[in-house]
């Protein structure tokens, strides 16, 4: 890790869910701008919780989560949407909308953030082109293969040109060839300066990249 201001930084972060389950315990780490790193660990180790804390979907019970220099526990609820606009999220459950076309799925983040339609359409097509789905823009996502659906999620996550890309098990349901494809895309985004944090339990995939790996074990970060 080189010196400089961290774009994501966790200090002694703990998260306990109602009911007493402790998902994270005293987790500390920092991510440099433009870094790509993996977050791994067994199922239930706290990977998803950690990503949710960074995206302000959950709130930490203790410690401090800083994203872009903002302390999330001190963030007003009204400021959360603006924080998320700097994040590209690839969700574990994909969360594609099947009541609209591939193109409209990618348009959504741009419309939500108030881009003019013409400019938004141009950027949506550019994002679809980057993931190789431009020919399918009029299709319904339900008609796409699993790999194509995951690529659509990636396009939607990057269309707003976020500084940080968070991906939760982006290759979980894909075979090896599709998984490599997705990882190559993340790597390409990282090369143009996007900070990428990928949570995955696929050690084989991690082995192909010489990147920093954070390992969670029962909510604790292994050093």
Partner 1 sequence: MRAWLQHHGLSLAQTLARLARSPFATTLNVLAIGVAAALPFGVYCVLGNFESLSRNASVDPQLSVFLARDAAKPEIAAVEARLKGASGVSAVRFVSRDAALAELNRVAGMQEVIASLPQNPLPDAFVVTLSGSDPALADRLELEFKSLPKVAYVQADSAWVKRLDALLRLGRTAVVLLSALLGLALVAVTFNTIRLQILTQRDEIELCRLIGATHAYIRRPYFYLGSLLGLFGGIAALVIVLSGLTVLNRDLADLGYLYGSNVSLRFPSPNEMISALLAAVALGWLGAYLSVSRHLLEADRD
Which residues would be at the binding site for partner 1 (CB under 8 A)?
Answer: 55, 57, 77-78, 81-85, 89, 91, 95, 97, 99, 108-109, 111-117, 156, 160
Query: Helix (H, G, I), strand (E, B), or coil: what is residue 101?
Result: coil
At a CB cut-off of 8 Å and minimum separation 6, what does 23 contact? 15, 16, 17, 46, 49, 219
As measured in angstroms, the least distance from the Cβ of 28 to partner 1 is 26
Characterize the bridge pairing of strands 212-217 and 36-41: parallel
Cβ closest to partner 1, residue 9 vs residue 160 = 160
| Burial class of residue 131 (count of CB atoms within 10 Å of its CB; 0-12, 13-18, 19+) | buried
Query: Helix (H, G, I), strand (E, B), or coil: what is residue 216?
Result: strand
Cβ closest to partner 1, residue 3 vs residue 77 = 77
As measured in angstroms, the least distance from the Cβ of 157 to partner 1 is 8
H/E stretch holding 197 reads strand 195-199
As measured in angstroms, the least distance from the Cβ of 160 to partner 1 is 8
As measured in angstroms, the least distance from the Cβ of 86 to partner 1 is 8
Q: Among residues 152, 160, 163, 171, which one has the least CA distance to residue 95?
A: 152
As measured in angstroms, the least distance from the Cβ of 41 to partner 1 is 23
Cβ closest to partner 1, residue 82 vs residue 203 = 82
Cβ closest to partner 1, residue 108 vs residue 126 = 108
Cβ closest to partner 1, residue 75 vs residue 83 = 83
């Amino acid at each position: 890790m080189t010196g400089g201001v961290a774009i994501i930084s966790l200090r002694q972060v703990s998260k306990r869910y109602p009911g007493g389950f402790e998902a994270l315990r005293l987790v500390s780490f920092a991510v440099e701008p433009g870094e790509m790193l993996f977050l791994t660990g067994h199922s239930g180790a706290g990977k998803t919780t950690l990503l949710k804390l960074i995206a302000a979907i959950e709130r930490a019970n203790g410690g401090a989560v800083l994203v872009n220099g903002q302390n999330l526990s001190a963030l007003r609820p009204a400021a959360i949407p603006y924080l998320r606009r700097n994040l590209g999220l690839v969700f574990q459950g994909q969360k594609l909308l099947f009541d609209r076309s591939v193109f409209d799925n990618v348009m959504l983040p741009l419309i939500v953030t108030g881009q003019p339609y013409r400019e938004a359409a141009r950027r949506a097509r550019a994002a679809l082109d980057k993931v190789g789905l431009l020919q399918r823009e009029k299709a319904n996502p339900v008609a796409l293969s699993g790999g194509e659906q995951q690529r659509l999620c990636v396009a939607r996550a990057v269309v707003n040109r976020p500084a940080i890309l968070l991906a939760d098990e982006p290759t979980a349901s894909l075979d090896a060839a599709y998984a490599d494809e997705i990882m190559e895309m993340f790597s390409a985004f990282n090369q143009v300066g996007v900070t990428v944090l990928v949570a995955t339990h696929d050690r084989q995939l991690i082995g192909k990249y010489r990147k920093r790996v954070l390992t969670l074990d029962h909510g604790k970060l292994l050093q």
